[in-house]
Amino acid sequence: MFKRLDPRDINITPFKANKKFNVTNVDSGSGVFSFRAVSGSLFNFNPATATAKTFESKSFYEKPAWFTLQQLYYRNDGNEYNNFGLSNGKQHRFLQNSASVISVPQQLYGERIKPKSINLKDDSGASTVTIVDDGNGNLYDNDFSSSFARFAASNFTASVDGTGSFVGNIFYDQGVMVFSNTGSKYVDIGTGEQTDGFDLEFKSQVTIREHTYLCMVGENEFNGTTNISATTDRSGSINVSGSHSWKLFPPGHATAKSGSYKHYYQQSTTYNNFVTHSEFRPYITKVGLYNDFDELIAIGQLSSPIKNDKDLSLGIQVRFDA
């Protein structure tokens, strides 16, 4: 028994979901990598002798890493749209001759890292530094939040406020954090090991769609049943026979050890008498949603059976997230 849904009874609503993650410098197994990027000539570049940092057979070379950052995010050709990252004019970008990078894998951040969710505690220097983001792709020292606010308000005009507060950039859609401030306090962010390492907290962002289907049962619709318990010889208890057939009983019913058992199913052509009674009304316990190829794609389970009265219309709303 099938019924095609009215398109007006189908509603799909997207919403953003966030999940908090906490990773450290020893979590390279999860795909979190930190490495240096240093400018220099690539003439006669030799991977065998080039400086690199290796995580589980994955090598990050300093010079190619710098040129990759420069090409993807920091090209200065007068057209900001040639770069990845935000293009709203609120992200300050300046790549020094060296930088450190923390890369988060897409498996963790989903569609993007949620803006204003970065909280990085780094111990590579003499004291712990706390780095946060402003929601526009800028990273700054939380101890100098007032200075950074003035720096941002001045449209990133070079000043003493900028040198002591701006640390680098976060590219939310790619999960890449670039620390371009080469001051002694920030130059080694993300590169420390053991007690000099980092602890990074952030939130991932994914789009989840809530599907809502209103299944309408009209008057005198779906008042039949295909349940085999309503057919002759298929309702009531099942008996078994044989010296070991009692094992077919569920726990607590295996004491009889007697009876007969039909080990095959033969379709019945008649219903039991109670089905043909004028007051017979089936109860709805589940709703199945099928695609155009008659394939079951979802099942809605009702909290309690609902009587399908032939004189009343019934609406059942099925919801699930995907």
Domain definitions of the chain by residue range:
14-209, 211-321
pLDDT score, position 130: 96
Residue 45's pLDDT band (cuts 50, 70, 90) = confident
Phi first, then psi, for residue 12 (nearest 5°) are -120, 115
| pLDDT single digits (tens) 68-124 | 999 899 887 556 666 787 667 788 888 999 999 999 999 999 999 999 999 999 998
Cβ-contact 305, 285 below 8 angstroms: yes
pLDDT range class, residue 15, cuts 50, 70, 90 = very high
Task: Provide the token pair at 275.
Answer: 């089905």
Highest mean pLDDT (candidates 20-34, 100-114, 232-246, 258-272): 100-114
Tell me if 132 sits within 8 A of 118, measured CB to CB: yes
Report the C-alpha gap between 73 and 4 in whole angstroms.
50
Alpha carbons 226 and 208: distance in angstroms, whole number: 36
- What three-state secondary structure class fits 213? strand
Q: pTM for this structure?
A: 0.73
Percent of the chain with pLDDT over 70: 84
Cα–Cα distance, 266 to 262 (Å, whole number): 9
